[in-house]
Amino acid sequence: MRAGVYYGPLDVRCVDVEKPKVGFREILVEMKACGICGSDLMDWYLKPRAPMVLGHEPTGVVVEVDGGVEEFNVGDRVFVHHHVACMKCYYCISGDYTLCRKFRETHIVPGGFAEYFKVPETNLTDTLKLPDNIGFEEGTLIEPLACCIRAVNRVGVKPYSKAAVIGLGPTGLMIVQLLKNHGVLKVLACDQLDYRVKAAERFGADIAVNPEELRDIVKSETSIGVDAVFVTAPSIEAYSLGIDICRGGGAVCVFAPPPPGKTLNLDLNRLFFSEIRIIPSYSTSHIETRIALSLIEKGMVDVKNLITHRFKLEEVAEAYKTAATSRNCLKVVVTNY
C-alpha cells in the first residue's frame, strides 16, 4: 500500500509499505483524510525517528474488524486519536492524561498518511464515530481542536476577560473562536503573515495586527495588559512578546514548543511580583476529543473554512512543502478518495 514517509527536512515521499494486519481486538481503517499538523513540520522532533510514516489527524472508514471488537463495525466512519492514556497510573488518576507513560507510547500503525492504518486495542478508547454532518476532512480537525480546548481550559479563561493569541495558524484561529465562545470581551491577535492576520478577522478576532503593533494595541485597549496570552508560534520572540503584554496575575500559555535548547531569559523578580502564570499545554486527551467533536457537529467552531489546501496521498510531498513554506495557507489536508 502507499504511505507518506518522512526521511528528512522537506523530504517526504509516497512509497510502498506493508499493509498492517489486524490482531486481537484491533480494527483496520481505510484513510480518507489526514491533516498536516504543526508538529509534522518540526524537523528537530522528527529527524531522530526518520524514516517514519507521518500523520496523526486521520479519519476514515472501518474495513476490517477483529472478532473480539464489539464497538465498531465494517463501514463505520471514524476519527482515531493516535495517543491514549492507560487510565490507571498516578498521572491518569490525577487527570494528567498526557503525562501518562503509555500516552506517548501508543500510536496508530503505521501512521495517518497511509492508505490503511491499524488501530490497536488501546486506541479504540479514543476512536470516535463521525456523525453524518461531519465530513472526513472536517473530522481531521477534531484532534487539533481538542488540543486548543485543553489549552483554554488549563488557563481558566474567564468570560469577562481580554486575551491575546500570538500565531494565527489553524490552532491559533481555533483558539480565537473558542475564546469568543467563552464570552471573552476582546480577543487581540497577531501574526507575521498578512494572510493570516486577515484570516483572524474573519474567524472572530476583535483586532488582528502584525507582532510589532501588538504591544501598542494592548496598551491602548487594556492599559494593564491582557488576562491571558496563547502563544502558538514556536519562537522565543513570540514568548517574550507574550509575557510583555500579559497583565499582573494573568497567564501565558505555552502551546507550541521551540526546539530543545532554546531558552527565554526571565526576570524572576518581576515574575514573582507580577504573579504571571506560565502554563504549558501539551496535546489532548479522550475528554477534549469528545468535546471537539460535539462543537464541530453543532457548528460552534468553524473548522471547514480553515482547510485551504487539499492534496491526494500520492501528492504528499507537495502537501508537506506547501504546509511548511507557503505564506498563503492555513490547514493542509491529505486525502485518499
Q: Tell me how far apart the alpha carbons of residues 192 and 209 are, in angstroms, rounded to a whole number.
A: 8
DSSP line for 162-201: EEEEE--SHHHHHHHHHHHHTT-SEEEEE-S-HHHHHHHH
Residues 37 and 115 in one domain: yes
CATH of the domain at 157: 3.40.50.720
User: Is 289 part of any domain?
Assistant: no
Q: Tell me how far apart the alpha carbons of residues 78 and 191 are, in angstroms, rounded to a whole number.
A: 34
Residues 43 and 107 in one domain: yes
Q: Specify the number of domains making up the chain.
A: 2
Return all residues near 4 (Cβ < 8 A) that are at least 6 apart.
Answer: 12, 13, 14, 53, 54, 55, 111, 113, 114, 313, 316, 317, 320, 334
User: Is 7 part of any domain?
Assistant: yes
Residues 119 and 186 in one domain: no
Distance from CA of residue 84 to its chain's centroid?
15
Residues 151 and 137 in one domain: no
pLDDT in tens, the chain (337 residues): 999 999 999 999 999 999 999 999 999 999 999 999 999 999 999 999 999 999 999 999 999 999 999 999 999 999 999 999 999 999 999 999 999 999 999 999 999 999 999 999 999 999 999 999 999 999 999 999 999 999 999 999 999 999 999 999 999 999 999 999 999 999 999 999 999 999 999 999 999 999 999 999 999 999 999 999 999 999 999 999 999 999 999 999 999 999 999 999 999 999 999 999 999 999 999 999 999 999 999 999 999 999 999 999 999 999 999 999 999 999 999 999 9
Residues 166 and 265 in one domain: yes
CATH of the domain at 87: 3.90.180.10
User: Is 108 part of any domain?
Assistant: yes
Residues 207 and 240 in one domain: yes
Return all residues near 332 (Cβ < 8 A) that are at least 6 apart.
Answer: 35, 36, 307, 308, 309, 310, 311, 319, 322, 323
Residues 210 and 269 in one domain: yes
- Residue 163 is predicted with a pLDDT of 98
Residues 106 and 179 in one domain: no
User: Is 286 part of any domain?
Assistant: no
Q: Tell me how far apart the alpha carbons of residues 201 and 25 are, in angstroms, rounded to a whole number.
A: 46
Residues 174 and 54 in one domain: no
User: Is 183 part of any domain?
Assistant: yes
Q: Which domain holds residue 310?
A: 2-141+303-335
Residues 132 and 152 in one domain: no
User: Is 324 part of any domain?
Assistant: yes
Report yes or no: 16 and 68 within 8 Å, Cβ to Cβ. Answer: no
Residues 209 and 259 in one domain: yes
- Residue 190 is predicted with a pLDDT of 98
Report yes or no: 122 and 100 within 8 Å, Cβ to Cβ. Answer: no
Cell numbers for 228 = 491571558
User: Is 296 part of any domain?
Assistant: no
DSSP line for 7-33: EETTEEEEEE-PPP---TT-EEEEEEE
User: Is 294 part of any domain?
Assistant: no
Report yes or no: 225 and 216 within 8 Å, Cβ to Cβ. Answer: no
Residues 236 and 320 in one domain: no
